Amino acid sequence: MSNRLNISFLGKKLNNPIMTASGCFGYGLEYKNYFNPNELGAAVLKGITMEPRNGNPGTRIAETPSGMLNSVGLENPGIEEFKKLIPSIKKELNIPLVANINGKILEEYIEIAKEVEQIEEIEMVELNISCPNVKDGGMAFGANPEMARLVTREVRKVLSKPMIVKLSPNVTNIVEIAKIVEEEGANGVALINTLLGMAVDIRKRKPILGNIMGGLSGPAVKPVALRMIYQVSQAVSIPVLGMGGISSTEDAIEFIMVGASAISLGTGMFGNPTLPIEIKKGLEKYCIENNIENISEIVGAAHPDGGAAYRNRLGGNNEIKG
Amino acid sequence: MFLEDVKVIENIQIADNYYLMRVEGKKIPQHSKPGQFFMLQCKDNSKVLRRPISLHNVDGNILEFYYEALGKGTKEFTQLSIGETINVQGPLGNGYDTDLKGKNIVVIGGGMGMAPIKYLIKDLKDNNDITFIGGGRNAGAVKIIEKFDFENIQLKVATDDGSVGIKGNTVDILKEVLKDQHIDIIYTCGPHPMMEAVAKVAQENNIRCQISLEERMACGIKACVGCSILTKKGMKKVCYDGPVFESTDIVDVDVVDPNGGCK
């Protein structure tokens, strides 16, 4: 494999721009029977909170046209158990691990950030201010610009590791919120989290999901994700981790061309467990066929100026030559 | 892990919405256990999730799936013709504990819950005495039993409408069986109210009972945490910790879909 897919992302050298979407990849080893997880650029692990959470009751999954709804509600074993898990994960994964952190209230975000700061094996942090499936915290932080500012600012004070803020698409003006978190010290933004939706069981005459509403993901949300990444990447000077319905190499290229420096895979892996490998090979092939020395050359290529201004603002931070 | 396009060699309607599909692959895993399941991929890309289908039987390079065509995905499976391929992933989850010898066993299958029963009995029958109780709404729901090749098995059938076997349900038969003989373990798969009633009878008689639960799932390998249920041992994933559970571990049976049966 050449170095066409090598990138620098938030100061970390990644073998390729392919990552996992938090909540879709367990704690890093669940897919190892289907592909070597070390083939990924980085692994974003399932979201954690300070205390263990049971998540939401009842049916949590519903399939929708070209998509799915979930209302898992951040079921996780809590930070203490997470800390015990990490060394065994790191034994098998020599790629950067990204912790996805969540809180119900501001203080919990700060506390968990302090904990993750201490975990040596965690190289980056994804600050989740956009989970649509928890009553407290989650999307409440990501949907309100001032709350997004506050939580990013306060977490930044206690976290020195590179921080990606995962934004909610369930807002009127995503650019405004992206600019705010950048101002407050985010090193990157991840978008999009799931779109709030619902589905009804017409036989039972009630919502399918136990939590009534859930997060919509899959190919159905791809046009929304592309639009938001396109808008945000023209307004900020930090890298975008793009996700939302990527299920092929062509999808991945679209995301990069609208401004994503790296991409995350989620729902697409459920139907196709070897998707990351297919996309990795596909991107490599695309670069060769199109005489692209490094994949980062096409970040933002679909911008009106071909992405030159954005790539310039990123300062070549994405690219590793040689 | 087996992830492969396999060839459909038979796909027939058994009754109503019940179908039996046999597929052939080059490297079918022989280590599958009764009670495990496979994730079957739809050809229509707009269906983003695979469908969890119980393993009905393994026979050399052939996998058998007994499935109910209820939703758009499983209805698509009914249209697969001989020679077409389908991508299957598995075996997944745990299975029934069949490492037993010289035991008196009751196996209870209700309706679609007959899916894992064929393989389960095949695995148990040489070393144990088995009473199989099959039940369903009507003759169609128990018709698959005709395709079971059982020898030296006590077979008892009940239907709600009395069209086949006795008019009644599997739990009534279970109670009668327990009057006559000592039973070491009960395995069941079927509609949730049936399994709940079976589990209660088992607990009242201090008999170990294994049940197979069903939940909607996305990944099938505990990566998405979509199929978690609350058990006495904490949150468990139906796809990975199950689908087979000890009945006594299930705290609140209402936490699973009341319309659910088994994988």
Query: Quick check: B226 and A61 CB within 8 A?
Result: yes
- pLDDT per position as a tens digit, A165-207: 999 999 999 999 999 999 999 999 999 999 999 999 999 999 9
Instruction: Show which of residues 69-108 on chain B sit within 8 Å of chain A, judged by CB atoms.
Output: 73, 89
pLDDT value at A319 more than 80: no
Q: Does B26 touch chain A (CB under 8 A)?
A: no
- B131-175 pLDDT, tens digit per residue, is 999 999 999 999 999 999 788 899 999 999 999 999 999 999 999
A25, A45, A49, A61: which to substitute to probe chain B, counting the most B Cβ within 10 Å? A61
User: What is the spatial distance between Cα B219 and Cα B238, in angstroms, rounded to a whole number?
Assistant: 11
- The pLDDT score that the predictor gives to residue A86 is 96
Which of B210-236 are b and which e, b meaning 16 or more Cβ less than 10 Å from the residue's Cβ?
A: bbbbbbbbbbbbbbbbbbbbbbeeebb
| Averaged confidence pLDDT in chain B | 92
* Cβ contact A72–B219 (<8 Å): no
**A240-242 vs A260-265, strand pairing mode:** parallel
Q: What pLDDT, on the 0 to 100 scale, is given for residue A134?
A: 63
Residue A135: pLDDT band with limits 50, 70, 90: low
Across B209-215, average pLDDT: 96
pLDDT given for residue B263 in this prediction: 33
pLDDT reading at B253 higher than 60:
no
**Interface residue ranges in chain A relative to chain B, Cβ cutoff 8 Å:** 23-26, 30-31, 33-34, 46, 54-55, 57-63, 65-68, 70, 72, 75, 204, 218-219, 247, 267-274
Most A-contacting residue of B219, B227, B235, B240 (CB-CB within 10 A), to test interface: B219
Question: What one-character-per-residue DSSP string does B22-51 give?
Answer: EEE-SS--TT--TT-EEEEPPSSTT--S-E
Catalytic pick from A131, A151, A192, A226? A131
On the question of pLDDT at B260 being above 50, the answer is no
Q: Is A24 an annotated catalytic residue?
A: no
Contacts of A63 in chain B (CB under 8 A): 47-49, 73
Distance between CA atoms of residues B171 and A251, nearest Å: 53
Q: How far apart are CA A15 and CA A95, in angstroms?
A: 8
Q: Would the pLDDT of B251 be above 70?
A: no
Q: Do A60 and B50 touch (CB under 8 A)?
A: no
pLDDT of residue A140: 74
Task: Give, in order, the Cα–Cα distances in Å from B19 to each of A188, B10, B24.
Answer: 50, 10, 17
Amino acid B28: pLDDT: 85
Residue A190, CB-side half-sphere exposure with 13 Å CA sphere = 29
Cβ separation B48–A218 shorter than 8 A:
yes
Residue of A nearest to B214 (CA): A59
Is the pLDDT confidence value at B262 over 70? no
Residue A321 confidence (pLDDT) above 50: no
**Is the pLDDT at B122 greater than 60, yes or no?**
yes
- SS3 sequence, A17-74? CEEECCCCCCCCCCCCCCCCHHHCCCEECCCECCCCECCCCCCCEEEECCEEEECCCC
Provide the percentage of residues in chain B whose pLDDT is more than 70.
Answer: 95
**pLDDT digits 0-9 by tens, A222-238:** 999 999 999 999 999 99
The 10s digit of each residue's pLDDT in B89-104 is 999 999 999 999 999 9
| Minimum distance, in Å, between the CA of residue B29 and any CA atom of chain A | 14
Task: With CB atoms and an 8 Å threshold, state whether B45 touches A219.
Answer: yes
Residue A211 has pLDDT above 80, yes or no: yes
Q: Which residues of B touch A270 (CB under 8 A)?
A: 48-50, 218-220, 224
